[in-house]
Structure 1
Amino acid sequence: MNRDFVLEIGVEELPARFLDPALTQLQKLTGQALQDNRLNCGEIVTSGTPRRITVFVRDVAENQQSLLQEVKGPAVKVAFNAAGEPTRAAQGFAKSNRVKVEELVRKSVGPVEYVFAVKQEAGRPAADVLKELAPVLIGGLHFPKPMRWGDLDMRFARPIRWLLCLFGGDVVPFTMAGLQADRYIYGHRFLSSGKMSVTDAGAYFEVMRGAHVIVNVTERREIIRRQVNEAAAREGGQAEIDADLLDEVTNIVEYPTALCGSFDKDYLQMPEEVIITPMREHQRYFPVRGADGRLLPRFIAVGNSGNDPESINIIRAGNEKVLRARLSDAAFFWQEDLKTNLADRVEGLQKVVFQESLGTIYEKVLRITALADLLAARMGAGLQEQGDTTRAAFLAKADLLTNMVYEFPELQGIMGREYALRQGEPPTVAQAVYEHYLPRFSGDELPATLPGRALSIADKADTIVGCFGVGIMPTGSQDPYALRRQALGICNIILDGELVLSIKEIVEQAYRGYAGRVQMKLSLEQVTGELEEFFQQRLRGLFIDRGLSYDTVEAVLAAGIDDLAGTWQRGQALEKFRSDPAFDALLTAYTRAHNLAKKAAHDKVDAALFDSAAEQELYQAFQSVSESAWAQINSRDYGAALSLIAKLQKPVDRFFNDVMVMVDNDLVRENRLALLKKIATFIGSMADLSKMVIPNR
């Protein structure tokens, strides 16, 4: 009969961010290990809490599957002589595979017959295999910051304190980290009664529940979600549940109990971000909003001490005290910061270093002001928007010198907006100060105003170009200045706003902003080249996520990305057009021209050298189609342009049917190649169709 298997690694409290990746690793490692060792099993479930990492495998076979292995040897004519007697080659092969010569079998592989050694290895008991696998699974887990403890050489996320390992009702004995695996576990640190015995692997989850531990992460998360919502509803409000915060809270408790606390309503006079930030980022509380959407003077905390009323009251009082202190500090910072205008803080940015090779924040403000002004003009800003952009750029970084942002860095930009509004700046300026940090993370909101978009792009481009210029580039998983995120932010802003901007111009102007102040390691040409590839990588993933086929993406990216919005529109048009029967004609015309065009030395066509009607027809068709198609391209109607270009298929086909391109006459040959190159280059300005997969119709 099959039996369940469970392995629990008991540890000192894990950081919340360590748990989910560890469980993902453990599930993958376990599945691969059981497969490699020929142990059939059912579902593999990983679970965990701050104090344990567990894998539970249902219905593990009692024994490994037997292994039947055929090893190919020499050809029969080499293994046996003319008399049919085994040669030294056959004898050596049989000996190396531990079979008798007479047990070798003959099999044909194609036209040649070979000898094979057939070996059958009986399956070992699962208990013996699991005894070897368990330490491998534990040792295979990797963490961002592993540690050592005691005099052990082993490294793990936190010190291991016990090991449970059962196959059915039997202990799977092994030693690791100075511990002997057994059938004992420890439940909740405060609510359980110490060491507990698990009689059978199948009873593991029931025993854990009895020990006041909800070991299943998904179940624990849903319990917290339900309890938080119920606690908020009892206060007449609705909890604001942030997904990341919910995951974090899930991974710092074993037996969750949600409770509601309160704070002085006078604090609600401050901007709500000032209240929510210490709640969420520092205390792991869930804010509560009323029916009108406004914050209530309430919060929901999640404890780890069960439902005892006395304990809940103590925890509530402690959380209220801590939050009261943080909000009191915030109120003091708020009042003090309002005493100094943002504009008066800007000079102080001369003492704040942006990056040691790139100067101060004040110098950055000067650069992004100039770049944002240019971008606003390119985006069609009127006088008012142009002035708002300039003013917002000047104030953009001033809140870095406020007490509030010093204490809560997450509020940069947010506090700039709030202080600007209360100090009489126009709302559009204040909003642009906030928006220039957007987007801050994947899925975040994008700038909605023209000054905000211009300033956000300018700020991000200044950082990216400066870092690349001095040789600070992302490598592997290392990206300390978040350059990938900032480049993706620029792409999303341009695509969302359908902005007609030149990436090359942005890079050039940002690079020139450093002239005379920073010694660049890379030239403008080198930075431009590096960033073209850098932005292509961002666009590749972005376009695929937005629904374009991989080969469509490759085709439009190869045609150039200087106009990001245009590149996306070309991709959309090509993706739609590829389902049209005319696409086959377009692809055929391009492929035939493109293949020979590679041999052309130039694209200068001399009509006087044509000596056939097919040449003349193709040239005239190209001139007519290209003129009409360019008009559509310039108006950004790329679908119409593709339909026009597809009309070249018939004259291209006739050209190849009637004309020999590679003739002996050098002038005629080069002229025909030039014509094909001209056509291929024109079509390639929309997309490099050689990257496309030929459809099966």
Structure 2
Amino acid sequence: MAKNVLFEIGLEELPARFVDNAEKQLAERTSKWLEESRISFQSIETLSSPRRLAVFIHNIKEEQATIEEEVKGPAIKIAKDSDGNWSKAAIGFTKGQGKTVDDIYTKELKGITYIFVNKVIEGQPTEKILPDFKEIIESIQFGKNMRWGTQSMRYARPIRWLVALYGNSVIPFEISGVEAGNETFGHRFLGEKITLENPLEYKDKLQKNYVIVDSMKREQMILDGIKTLEETRGFQVPIDSDLLNEVKNLVEFPTVFVGSFEKEFLELPEEVLITSMKEHQRYFPVKSKAGALLPYFVAVRNGDNHAIETVMKGNEKVLRARLSDANFFYQEDQKHDIDFYVNKLSNVVFQEKLGTILDKVNRVVTISRSIAERLNLDADQITKVTRAAKLTKFDLMTNMVNEFTELQGVMGEKYARLFGEDEAVAKAISEHYMPTSATGELPSTLVGSIVSIADKLDTIVGCIGVGLKPTGSQDPYGLRRQAIGILKILNESKWNITVAELFQMVEELYQSVENKNFDLARLQEEITPFLRQRAAFVLKENGIEQDIIQAVTANELGVMPTILKKARILSEKRNDSSFKPVQEALSRVLNLAEKTEEFNVDSNLFETDSEESLFESYQHVQMVYQDALEQDKLDKAFSHIEELAEPIHTFFDHNMVMADDDAIRKNRLALLNRIGTLVNSFADLNAIEWKQHF
């Protein structure tokens, strides 16, 4: 007979961003625990709200499955002594499995005979195993765990109650002084204490106490409420999925309502209004059918619609105060010119070992100009790049960004336009922060891309140079994200400039700037493996296999789009059976080339036609290969390398590379070394796990 099981963890209000991940962990760990415990069940349902995490196990079997497993012991030569009797090793093995030597049988594995026993593990009643579920509860990890009160356990928030029911019976266990029972709690203000007779009552009794414990149902209630408002009021509410997800995890019983604010506030930049509503108050902005922002907002109350007018007015008052502050800041900021804010950057430390923000800005100006010149931009474009770099951080000193930190860059672009800056310069000020995440949007303009890369280059080189390389999960300056951003912008922009060349520019800049904290040797030691790891991330995102990634990043990082093209070519080749003879030929060359540093080939020492033919083929391929690379025809370049396969095979068929004559041996190794160097300039083919085709 099957029963239902309910576990609920009652907590102080969890941060909204923790809820979904914790619920996912609960589902995955419960399923794995039941499987490892050999307990069958029909299905698992996880539930959550800001004050609880719960798992409902439907139709769980009343007993573990009984299993019989074969257990391998020592080899027979160890299991028996010289007289043919069972040794202490065999006796100890059987005793450890609850068996005797009479239960032993033998089997041969890979030519060796071992002893075995069959072990039967009887299933235990499920009721006896369920108290161990407390370990699953204790194992849940949150974005930030803390120790609460005098308890040693670390958790996101204090546990206030625990529900643990197996049918109508309480499952006995205790966590941090809280005993599991059959009592839960409804809405903090509208509900009451609830006694559960069995798990099936859980959702209905909570709903009657103003708790919708199914997060997807709460989300749908919010969407339905918004849709009703749209139909009755004739406006539209753009749904931000992140905001919706957060709001659904902030409330236990959602009620949607609409509020308003004065039309005069619409004169503020739209980003200011939306940030005030979304980021600060968790409101949904409202737009007309034509897409214009309207003086309304949609909010979600945690409770029913009792006295909803009062709630609406309270929210309007809070938003009005925030928008009034924003309007004041907006007007005040326009009383000074941009240079006023740029000069104030000298009063703010970027990092104690790297100077002020103004110091950083000056370095970014130099790097940006160097990149622009390297890309052969005209004088007008270089002027725009330089100006944009100088203005990248000025808005950090404005009142608006000081109050609304989320608007850094955004307000820089807005104010730059107001102060008459060129459109390309204004746009680059906001774009230089892009991408803001590993998968974020990239800059859309040339000036924005250059300044974005320059800013990130300075941060990475500076931080690693003064000993601030990321460790483990710690990356306070976001160096990993910024390096990925550089590589993605380079790939998208298709610039013919190598990653190594860019970082060399910044290394030289830091060498010219007097900074006793900067350690060039440390930077040079750490920067290459750091960048290879970030390149591997970008390539993996593009579907490249791990061994191909190692092959194309083994050498100095080159032009990013070229790296990706090479990876795709090799990925196709590794799965192509017709490429196998080429791969075998090139691999033989690479393996022997590693055994010498000789590079000078003397054609007068050739003893066979195959030697001379291979050398001539190499000389021709080297020339046409370089031409193809310069034209960015990578497929054609690699096909030229493939042309060497036949003369390589012929060479090995007719020549002993490791000849007795020292001069001939070195000459042949030098020839192979030249070919190996040519092949390795494309990628390290030995790093690839070539597919075996039969």
Percent identity reads 41
Shift, 1:20, TM fit: 2.2
TM-score by length of 2: 0.94
One-letter amino acid of the counterpart of residue 601, structure 2: V
Question: Superposed, which structure 2 residues align to 1:500-579 within 5 Å?
Answer: 500-514=496-510, 515-523=512-520, 526-576=522-572
**Amino acid aligned to 2:173:** F
After TM superposition, the structure 1 = structure 2 runs for residues 214-293 of structure 1, keeping only pairs within 5 Å, are: 214-293=212-291
For residues 40 and 499 of structure 1, the distance between their equivalents in structure 2, rounded to whole angstroms, comes to 58
Deviations 1:457-489 (A, max 9, x none): 111100110000000011111000001111111
Q: Does the 8 Å contact 1:265/1:297 carry over to 2?
A: yes
| In 2: Cα distance, 1:488 partner to 1:285 partner | 33
Partner SS for 1:475 = coil
Q: Which residue of 2 aligns with 1:11?
A: 11
1:422 matched to 2:421? The reply is no
Moved more, 323-332 or 206-215: 206-215
| 245-254 or 565-574, which deviates more | 565-574
1:230–1:500 CA distance, 2 compared to 1 (3 A): farther
Partner residue, 2:686:
690
**Contact residue 210 and residue 303 of structure 2 kept, 8 A:** no
Alignment partner of 2:661 out of 662, 665, 669: 665
The one-letter code matched in structure 2 to 1:66 is: T
Letter in 1 for 2:519: L
Partner of 2:443: 447
Once residues 690 and 457 of structure 1 are traced to their aligned partners in structure 2, the CA distance between those partners, rounded to angstroms, is 33
Name the CA distance, whole Å, in 2 between partners of 1:88 and 1:570: 60
Letter in 1 for 2:171: V
Task: Give me the whole-angstrom Cα distance separating, in 1, the residues matched to 2:476 and 2:446.
Answer: 29
After superposing the two structures, state which structure 1 stretch, 135-144 or 627-636, moved more: 135-144
Question: What corresponds to 1:171 in structure 2?
Answer: 170
State the 1:692 CA deviation: 2.1
C-alpha distance 151-401 of structure 1, shift in aligned 2 (>3 A): closer
CA contact (8 A) 2:435 2:442 kept: yes
Instruction: Name the structure 2 match of 1:382.
Output: 378
User: Could you tell me whether the CA contact under 8 Å between 2:574 and 2:690 is conserved in 1?
Assistant: no
- Partner of residue 27, structure 1: 27
Contact residue 6 and residue 54 of structure 2 kept, 8 A: yes
What pairs up with 1:354-433 in 2 under 5 angstroms? 354-433=350-429
Alpha-carbon distance in structure 2 between the residues aligned to 1:269 and 1:6: 54
Aligned to 2:492: 496
Report the equivalent of 1:160. 159
In the superposition, relative to structure 1, how do residues 92 and 18 fare at CA in structure 2: closer, same or farther (>3 Å)?
A: closer
Give the letter for the 2:278 counterpart: R
User: Helix, strand or coil for the counterpart of 2:5?
Assistant: strand
Give the distance between the partners of 1:47 and 1:135, measured in 2 at CA: 17
1: CA distance, partners of 2:313 / 2:499: 55
Counting only pairs closer than 5 Å after superposition, residues 188-203 of structure 1 correspond to structure 2 as 188-192=187-191, 194-203=192-201
Instruction: Give the unaligned 5+ runs of structure 2.
Output: none
Which whole-Å deviations, capped at 9, do the CAs of 1:513-553 have from their partners, x for residues lacking one?
33343224422x54234222212111212112112233322
Q: Deviations over 1:28-56 (max 9, x none)?
A: 32223222222122322322111101112
Check whether the contact 2:428–2:448 (CA below 8 A) recurs between aligned residues: yes
What CA distance in whole angstroms lies between the structure 2 residues aligned with 1:429 and 1:149?
Answer: 50
Closer, same or farther: CA 295–107 of 1 in aligned 2, 3 Å: same
2:57 maps to 1:57 = yes
Amino acid at match of 2:489: I
Q: Are residues 128 and 449 of structure 1, via their aligned partners in 2, closer, same or farther at CA, if it must alter by over 3 Å?
A: same
| Residues 74 and 369 of structure 1, relative CA distance in 2, 3 Å threshold | closer
State whether residues 50 and 254 of structure 1, in contact with CA within 8 Å, keep that contact through their aligned partners in structure 2: yes
Distance 1:74 1:583 in 2: 45
Matched, 1:127 2:124: no
Q: Distance in 2 between matches of 1:602 and 1:75?
A: 51
Indicate the SS of the match to 1:215: coil
AA aligned to 1:240 is: P
Residue 68 of structure 2 corresponds to: 68
Within the candidate set 300, 303, 311, 1:302 is matched to: 300
1:162, 1:108 → 2: CA distance? 54
Tell me if the contact between 1:548 and 1:572 (Cα under 8 Å) persists in the aligned partners. yes
Given that 2:575 and 2:690 are in contact with CA atoms closer than 8 Å, whether structure 1 keeps it comes out as no
1:241-276, Cα deviation, whole Å (9 max, x unpaired): 222222211211111122222111211112111111
* Alpha-carbon separation, structure 2, partners of 1:433 and 1:173: 60
Q: Residue 507 of structure 1 contacts residue 528 of structure 1 at CA under 8 Å; is this kept in 2?
A: no
Q: Distance in 2 between matches of 1:483 and 1:229?
A: 42
Going from structure 1 to structure 2, the CA distance change for 1:646 and 1:34 (only over 3 Å counts) comes to: same
CA apart distance, 1:228: 3.0
Please state how far the C-alpha of 1:186 moved relative to its aligned partner.
1.1
Q: Are 1:142 and 2:141 matched, yes or no?
A: yes
SS at match of 2:307: helix
Residues 50-70 of structure 1, C-alpha deviations (whole Å, 9 max, x = no match): 110111222221011224355
Deviation at 1:582, TM superposition (A): 5.8
Equivalent-residue separation in structure 2 for 1:479 and 1:388 (angstroms): 32
In the other structure, the counterpart of 2:328 is 332
User: Are residues 612 and 8 of structure 1, via their aligned partners in 2, closer, same or farther at CA, if it must alter by over 3 Å?
Assistant: same
User: 2:609 aligned to 607, 610, 613, which one?
Assistant: 613
> What is the DSSP-based 3-state SS (H/G/I as helix, E as strand, rest coil) of the residue aligned with 1:45?
strand
AA at the equivalent of 2:21: P
The CA distance in 2 between the partners of 1:538 and 1:652, in whole Å, is 36
Shift of 1:184: 2.0
One-letter amino acid of the structure 1 residue matched with residue 309 of structure 2: N
- State the distance in 2 between where 1:682 and 1:329 align: 65
CA contact (8 A) 1:9 1:162 kept: yes
Cα distance change, pair 235–384 in 1 and its aligned pair in 2 (3 A): farther
1:92-146 per-residue CA deviation (whole Å, 9 max, x = no partner) reads 6555554455x43332344676655544342211011102x13212222233443
Note the alpha carbon deviations across 1:418-460, whole angstroms, 9 max, x for none.
1111111111111111211111124332222222111111111
1:238 aligns to what SS in structure 2?
A: coil
Does the C-alpha gap of structure 1 residues 579 and 98 become closer, same or farther in structure 2, counting only changes over 3 Å?
A: closer
Is structure 2 residue 348 aligned with structure 1 residue 352? Answer: yes
- Name the SS for the 2:690 alignment partner: coil
Do the aligned partners of 2:105 and 2:117 also contact (CA within 8 Å) in 1?
no
**Residue pair 2:413, 2:427 contacting (<8 A) in 1 also:** yes
- With 476-485 and 74-83 compared, the bigger mean Cα shift is at 74-83
Q: Give the counterpart letter for 1:338 in structure 2.
A: Q
Cα RMSD (Å): 2.4
SS at the partner of 2:55? strand
Corresponding letter in the other structure for 1:206: D
Aligned residues of 2:500 and 2:557 also touching (Cα < 8 A) = no
Give the conservation status (yes or no) of the 8 Å contact 1:104–1:115: no
Q: 1:643 to 1:95 in 2, by over 3 A?
A: closer
Q: After superposing the two structures, state which structure 1 stretch, 441-450 or 640-649, moved more.
A: 441-450
